[in-house]
Amino acid sequence: MDYHDYEYVSNITIGTPQQHFVIVPDTGSADLWVPGRDCDSSCKGKHKFSMKDSSTFVHSKSRWVIKYGDGEARGVKGTDVVRLGGENEPQLVIPNSVFGIADHISPDYKTDPTDGVFGLAFASLSSIKGLPPLLNAIKQGRYFTSLYQTFCGNSMNE
């Protein structure tokens, strides 16, 4: 999707059955988080993850807070199947991925067209304290059987 070069986004799904999210890949953070069904009004209009609707979800009950230069997100931690790519696209499937389920996001993110953030940085930067999904895929050897790539163009036709 093209938001006039403001940001680039990707589709992912989480859980079984798959729940769809639009995320912003972020090289400056390590964590994946999406809004949860229990998120307050700060998540209005966003896709929300339902823990109870995923048969593969494992709740850790520990809490997290991620602070960015322009706001923060906070919530609970869990583990589930993360798939890079939308339901009808080729997907890189990453079982047992740690991610955050936000119950609050800063007001600045309210108008952002994305649901959450997919951190691409080193695990040492994790606020959720888990192996980031992409590093988890490498650890599981999944990068040999699947390919994920991103092209950042400046036109909706690219």
What integer pLDDT is reported at residue 89 of this predicted model? 84
pLDDT tens digit sequence for 113-125: 899 999 999 999 9
- Structural domains of the chain, count: 1
Whether the per-residue pLDDT at 141 is higher than 50: the answer is: yes
Residue 153 lies in a domain: no
Taking residues 11-17, what's their average pLDDT?
97
pLDDT tens digit sequence for 17-38: 999 999 999 999 999 999 999 9
Residue 131 lies in a domain: yes
pLDDT tens digit sequence for 31-75: 999 999 999 999 999 999 999 999 999 999 899 999 998 899 999
Residue 120 lies in a domain: yes
CATH number at 98 reads 2.40.70.10
State the pairing for strand pair 19-26/58-68: unpaired
Can you tell me which residue has the tokens 């403001």? 6
Whether the per-residue pLDDT at 144 is higher than 70: the answer is: no
What type of residue sits at position 25? P
150 in Cβ contact with 49 (< 8 Å)? no
Identify the domain containing residue 64 by its residue range: 10-144
Q: 8-24 burial, b if ≥16 CB within 10 A, otherwise e?
A: bbbbbbbbeeebebbbb
Residue 158 lies in a domain: no
Residue 19 lies in a domain: yes
- Phi, psi for residue 28 in degrees, rounded to 5: -95, 0
Q: Write the secondary structure of 97-126 as one string of H (helix), E (strand) and C (coil).
A: EEEEEEEEECHHHCCCCCCEEEECCCHHHC
Residue 150 lies in a domain: no
Whether the per-residue pLDDT at 129 is higher than 60: the answer is: yes
What integer pLDDT is reported at residue 112 of this predicted model? 86
